[in-house]
Chain A
Amino acid sequence: MILDRSHCRWLQVTLGILAAGLASYAWYASGPSGVSGGSLPGLIFGIVGTAMLVFAGLLSARRQVPNWRIGSAQFWLKGHIWLGLLSVAFILFHSGFRLGGMVEIGLWLSIATIVLSGVVGLALQQVLPRLLTTSVPNETFIDQLSYQCASMQFLADKLVSEFTGKIDISAVAAIGVAEDVARQRKWLKRPSDLQKIVSAIYENAPQLLPEEPARPKPKPSGKPSALLAGQPESSPEATKRVVIRTEELKTFYLKLVRPFLSISSKRESLLIQSERRRSAFNQMRVDLPSELHDVLDQLEQFCDQRSQMHRLKRIHVWLHGWLFVHVPVSASLLVLFVLHIVISLRVVPWEWSW
């Protein structure tokens, strides 16, 4: 929720109610009986403050019924913010600015935590959405991260295997999304195409479809598939050089790039920082022949996307993490309130004095 001019009216109303509350408190506190939560004015302050807190707390209940036309979500959130803040003042008036017993101290601590976490959350919301927009241009749903990672792994596996030959790894996640990715890219002309694609990438590819009758297979040549697929014919020495180099590419990919593309990759990875990533890929460009530079470019793009996803996740944690404090403490506040009411009812002599 961005704090802008649309909050002006809420701010005015809040300040108006606060001024009225302060004036009432000043009159009540200057009376002969002094301040007490059990007196009628004290109880009224308490009830008003509690009502405001209850309204603020109802925001989460309102989210459960998005189609009830009981005021827009914006209205409820603004009410949550401003009345939530205002309730603190009224509860202070109720208590006469005293801490009270153990339960009351618990209440104060809860209220302080809720207000503080809420203010922090609000402050973060002024900055982080904009940061997310600018620093993660290829943003995706947070729930889609594992799918996106698996898709990138599958595409990268396919790309690398076209040059280095089949990859001997267990690629459950990547194979899981293979059909989706292949369909989106219109690679599937026939039902058997998926099996062919997967078998061309992975050494121990699982059987995705019922096995077809065996056909005579072309004799494997032992050469890397890129050389078979239209790379210019060269001398045996040059071929040997590229074969050795593709092994280097394969190692670089399997040791560094592929683990980084996975959903479980760590933020400590060498490839997460753009400068270190660029330097690692530049080093590989120096080491590998120019025929493999296109692959490196594409792998670097995948790594850049994965790095953005790390950033996305980190910003999401900040953007929503404060709720892990705000919401449970709000729930505990409710329990403490009930306790406070029960205890107070037993203590209050029910002879109200002004």
Chain B
Amino acid sequence: MGVVLDLPRNATCVAYDHPDSGFHQRIPDSRTGGVPSRVELVKIPQDALRALMKSSPLVKSSIDATIRQRQEGTRQQTQRFAIDPASQRQRTPRFDELGLVQGQQLMLIDLDRCTRCGACVDACVAAHDDGNTRLYLDGPRYENYLVPLTCRKCLDPVCMIGCPVGAINRGNSGEIQVRDWCIGCRLCADQCPYGSIQMNHLSVPVEPDEQQWRLLGPDVEVKAVISRAVVCDMCSSLPGGPSCVYSCPHEAAIRVDSKGFFFDSVEISGGTGSLESVS
């Protein structure tokens, strides 16, 4: 809609797909030989949709409400960028170079506030059963912020391209998630331009179980999975947002929409610790 109406882009990529070879066979990736993940798109012809809306007032009202909601969102966004003097700030080459524009939930550490206590990393470790952190307090600086190595929930997540087993995709809140059938090929980790995906060594390599061996047959050569990709899931299973932000006592760790934050002073998450925020 943004492209058609020449309005700011507010959509985000939820999945990547690749053209089908025409023989119900996905085209294997040239580097890994793996078959890309499958994305299904439901295409509803305009006439059919109109007929459906005509026959069902419920569907019509639901679609109308969605249209109104999206138009309002776009209108607000356009207005905000047009009148707020902060939006006049120019994007610097450094902003582009660091790929900050990609960050829908960019993590920033305000270095003027941070006492380097490491509570954010401890919280990240505690939030995950495997005991591995998804947050590394290392990375480039932008203004007075550290941009640590952790997932920024890119608008255009190139890490999702070409996973041979379709183990990386977006969760319900748009967070990137690596599923437990990851084979540890490290393609996603190599493709992430910001070093946000880590490969974690498995203490016990994963081998096919008896049933899988039977299915595979005796002649198949199988490699054990010795590592798995690990990426920040924004603690989507926990209430209250990412643990790193929730556990920072100094209000130094924040998760922001980069464009809104740097050009419009809009923050997505990052508690203020005010009395109201507790309720």
A21 CA to B144 CA, complexed, in Å: 42
Please encode chain B, from 236 to 279, with 1 for each CB lying within 8 Å of some chain A CB and 0 for all others: 00111001001111111000000000000000000111111110
Interface of B is mostly: loop
Tell me the nearest residue of chain A to B145, going by C-beta.
A133
Contact at B273–A78, with CB atoms within 8 Å?
A: yes
Complex CA gap A132/B113 in Å reads: 11
25 A/B residue pairs, CB under 8 Å, sorted by A: A1-B113, A1-B251, A2-B112, A10-B275, A59-B249, A66-B122, A66-B243, A67-B126, A67-B238, A67-B243, A69-B238, A69-B240, A69-B246, A71-B278, A72-B246, A73-B249, A74-B250, A75-B275, A77-B250, A78-B273, A125-B115, A129-B114, A137-B141, A142-B116, A319-B116
Q: Known contacts A2-B251, A6-B251, A66-B122; is A74 also within 8 Å of B112 by CB?
A: no
What 1/0 flags go to B108-136 for Cβ under 8 Å of A? 00011111110100110011000000000
Question: Does B221 make an interface contact (CB < 8 A)?
Answer: no
- Known A9-B274, A75-B278; judge A319-B248 contact (CB<8 A): no
**Cα distance, A67 to B138, chains bound together (Å):** 23
Asked whether any CB of chain A lies closer than 8 Å to the CB of B137, the reply is: yes
**Chain B residues within 8 Å of A140, by CB:** 138
A133 and B273 contacting across the interface, CB-CB below 8 Å: no
The bracket for how many chain A residues form the interface is 20 to 34
Identify the closest chain A residue to B111 (Cβ).
A133
Residue contact B126 to A1, C-beta cutoff 8 Å:
no
User: Quick check: is A196 within 8 A (CB to CB) of the other chain?
Assistant: no
Q: Taking the nearest CB of chain B, how far is it from the CB of A178, in angstroms?
A: 20
Known interface pairs A69-B246, A129-B112; 12 further A-B residue pairs with C-beta atoms within 8 A, sorted by A's residue number: A1-B249, A2-B112, A66-B119, A66-B122, A66-B127, A69-B239, A69-B240, A77-B249, A128-B115, A129-B111, A133-B111, A316-B116
Report yes or no: B113 in contact with A2, Cβ–Cβ below 8 A: yes
Q: Decide yes or no whether A98 CB sits under 8 A from chain B.
A: no
The listed residue (B137, B247, B276) touching A73 by CB distance below 8 A is B247
A76 to B111, CA, bound (A): 21
**Chain A residues within an 8 Å CB radius of B119:** 63, 66, 73
A266 on the B face (CB < 8 A): no
Interface of A is mostly: helix
Contact (Cβ within 8 A) B123 A74: no
Q: Which residues of B contact A (CB under 8 A)?
A: 111-117, 119, 122-123, 126-127, 137-138, 141, 144, 238-240, 243, 246-252, 271-278
How close is A20's CB to chain B, nearest CB, in angstroms? 17
Interchain nearest-CB distance for A302 vs B (Å): 19
Known A73-B119, A129-B113, A133-B111; contact A13-B275, beta-carbon cutoff 8 A: yes
Shortest CB distance B248–A (Å): 6
In Å, the complex CA distance between A66 and B242 comes to: 11
Interface centre among B112, B122, B277, by most A CB within 10 Å?
B112
Q: Complex Cα distance A13/B278, Å?
A: 15
Give the docked Cα–Cα distance between A6 and B273 (Å): 8
A77 to B271, alpha carbons, bound, how many Å?
12
Chain B nearest CB from A146 CB (Å) reads 16
Chain A residues closer than 8 Å to B243, beta-carbon distance = 66-67
Residues of A near B249 (CB, < 8 A) are 1, 59, 73-74, 76-77
What is the minimal beta-carbon distance from B129 to any residue of chain A, in angstroms? 11
Query: A141: CB under 8 A from chain B?
Result: yes
Please report the C-alpha to C-alpha distance between residue A137 and residue B146 in the assembled complex, in whole angstroms: 11
A320 interface residue (CB < 8 Å to B)? yes
5 interchain residue pairs of minimum CB distance:
A74-B273, A66-B123, A77-B249, A73-B249, A72-B271
Contacts of A67 in B (CB 8 A): 123, 126-127, 238, 243
Contact of A2 among B239, B246, B250, B272 (CB under 8 A): B250
